Amino acid sequence: MELIIPALNDVWMDNGVETFYRLLKEAQNSSFSVNIDNNSLIITVADFDKFKESVGIAIKNRRSNLIVIDEDKKLGVNKEVKKDYILIQEGTKVGGKVAFKEELYNEKTTIDTVNKIFDLITEEGVRSCIVCGRQFSKPIKKLQQAAYPFVTKIKSLSGVRSYKDGDVYSFKEYFDDFCPTCYLVGIAEWLDDGIVYRTIPGEKSTLFLPRFNKIDELIKFKNTYRIQLNKSDRYRNIRVKIDSDETENPPGSFSTLLCFYEKFFFSDDKEIIGKSWTMMEIPFGAVKNIKLSVLDLADSVLRVIRELSEKDISFYKDIIMQIYFFYDNPKGVPVNRDFTNKIRENISEAILKDDFHLFATNLLPKKGGYVGYSKDTRLNLEDLIYIWRLKNMGLDEEQLKTIKSASRTIAAASKDHRSLLYKLDKAKDKTALLDSLRQVSRRIAGLKVEEKEKFKGFIYPPALEDIVSLLEKNESDKKFIEDLKNTLVIFSCVEFSRLDYIEGKKEGAINE
């Protein structure tokens, strides 16, 4: 007997095929064999009864991926807790163990349910599955979130809706037409120990699922990074070190994926690099209206992360997590933690989406505070900007020095006039950029003697003139002008934070 489960170009189902393949591969014995061919999972069965028994045992052995062990603080004993992102309903715990309502994950009924599923799979029928389009005889269950999470029940609407790639599909008339094969593959995906996840308690869980057109490439990619994940942690699963159970604690979704790639490029095995992901945001609460988005990483973004890793600079650890938002006039703790995390998350999104302007904007001083860095972080940030943008702008060493000198001058002019930095950031073209530079020049020219002394070493007006010449020379290159403006904003913001040290603050104060 041969069972064929094809890829569907559906990120949940295709990852489910990969997970089911891995589960079968681990359980493979004389009763069956598995392989990938023609973008499909091929199961060759020699002994059907023994095969079904083997699958049931394999699923029971994988159940641990659905739960974590936590301490019952009232009783002082360990208990099972369902992971927050798992969309499988549970009943009352029995002896501290999670009691899943899904019969496939109920230890008492797993084997019988597997038998029933495969018996239905082998039956011929005339009904068409709403998910895969293949014909089948009878469903094992209706289309529900437990097996296909993109289906959502919404209080304000009757019926069942599916959200996919921003479009809305109504399954009200078709949710009975869900074949047992798709049910099995979909429900099995929760056993996937290759999902990258981050849960913020009380808010949401974010899952990252890699997207590939070919199942064999998906398998190879997930095999390269699976060792980096710790499935036993409830809220996050990227290990700090491969040989440690300690996990990283990124502030949000984009920083989680950036942290993942940092670990990935510091590892040895990079035969296949995944560039496309589906990001699933699953909110807390009874109604799970899942938000889906696709993130396709440009080769240039991966190159930046890789080149930094080759210089032993960790983008996540040495740059993102070393950026802080400081109060202008702190009363107690000098750092605003919530705003710091927001900035870290925003600049993580900026690098992953190759959005240089978003990156620059998030480094601007805000009302009541500014973004600060240690000396090492500033140097790492300079390396980042050079690799990300400056290296491809055709600038020589003297021109790079000019940009830094101009940035120090802009920072000095903006110290008590932050609107100058904001105007620079908002410049849309060469004309607006030149206008903002003229305002900086006027501000510098009007500085008092004591101000010039205070900013000694920062002010160098000729650098602004050199920037104007650089703009005139490249006036037809809109991208060059935009990148130059954003670079000036970034370096000016970095220098802006240093000016506080001149007024009596020690640089070491921002190191934690």
Q: Is residue 122 part of a domain?
A: yes
Residue 367 pLDDT > 70, yes or no?
yes
pLDDT of residue 202: 93
Q: Is residue 389 part of a domain?
A: yes
Residue 156 pLDDT > 50, yes or no?
no
Q: Is residue 482 part of a domain?
A: yes
Give 97-117 as a DSSP string: B--BSSGGGSTTTHHHHHHHH
What does the pLDDT average to over 459-463?
A: 94
pLDDT of residue 463: 96
- Residue 171's Cβ-side half-sphere holds a number of Cα atoms within 13 Å equal to 23
Angle (CA) 41 47 51, round 5°:
55
Residue 441 pLDDT > 80, yes or no?
yes
What does the pLDDT average to over 241-263?
A: 95
Residue 16 · residue 210 · CB < 8 Å = no
Estimate to the nearest angstrom the gap between the alpha carbon of 119 and the chain centroid: 40
Residues 363 and 498 in one domain: yes
pLDDT of residue 152: 65
What does the pLDDT average to over 32-50?
A: 97
Tens-digit pLDDT profile for residues 419-435:
999 999 999 999 999 99
**275 CB-contact burial (10 Å; exposed 0-12 / middle 13-18 / buried 19+):** middle
pLDDT of residue 339: 95
- Our CA dihedral for 312, 317, 320, 321, rounded to 10 degrees, sits at -150
Q: Which residue has the higher pLDDT, 460 or 75?
A: 460
pLDDT of residue 216: 96
Residues facing 33 on adjacent strands: 44
Q: Is residue 249 part of a domain?
A: no
Q: Is residue 443 part of a domain?
A: yes
Cα separation of the two ends of the chain: 63
pLDDT of residue 363: 97
Percent of the chain at pLDDT > 70 equals 93
Q: Is residue 294 part of a domain?
A: no
What does the pLDDT average to over 327-353?
A: 92
pLDDT of residue 71: 82
**96 CB-contact burial (10 Å; exposed 0-12 / middle 13-18 / buried 19+):** middle
Residues 377 and 496 in one domain: yes
Q: Is residue 239 part of a domain?
A: no
Other beta carbons within 10 angstroms of residue 60's beta carbon come to 16
Return the minimum-mean-pLDDT range out of 73-77, 86-90, 392-396, 470-474.
73-77
Query: Domain span at residue 169?
Result: 2-190
What does the pLDDT average to over 485-511?
A: 74
Query: What does the alpha-carbon distance between residue 34 and residue 351 come to, in Å, rounded to a whole number?
Result: 40
**Given its phi and psi angles, is residue 313 left (phi above 0), alpha (psi -120 to 50 degrees) or beta?**
beta
Query: What does the alpha-carbon distance between residue 179 and residue 129 come to, in Å, rounded to a whole number?
Result: 5
Query: What does the alpha-carbon distance between residue 428 and residue 175 come to, in Å, rounded to a whole number?
Result: 50
Residues 338 and 464 in one domain: yes
Residues 443 and 312 in one domain: yes
Residue 472 pLDDT > 80, yes or no?
yes
The number of domains in the chain is 2
**Given its phi and psi angles, is residue 434 left (phi above 0), alpha (psi -120 to 50 degrees) or beta?**
alpha
pLDDT of residue 270: 75
Residue 512 pLDDT > 50, yes or no?
no
Query: Inter-axis angle of helices 215-225 and 11-27, to 10 degrees?
Result: 70
503 pLDDT band, cuts 50/70/90, is low
Residues 475 and 351 in one domain: yes
Residue 391 pLDDT > 70, yes or no?
yes
Residue 288 pLDDT > 80, yes or no?
no
Q: Is residue 260 part of a domain?
A: no
pLDDT of residue 236: 96
456 pLDDT band, cuts 50/70/90, is confident
Residues 176 and 321 in one domain: no
159 pLDDT band, cuts 50/70/90, is very low
- Taking Cα atoms as reference points, which of 215, 220, 219, 209 lies closest to residue 271? 220
Residue 510 pLDDT > 50, yes or no?
no
Q: Give the predicted TM-score (pTM) of the model.
A: 0.90
Query: What does the alpha-carbon distance between residue 145 and residue 139 come to, in Å, rounded to a whole number?
Result: 15
Mean pLDDT, the chain, integer: 91
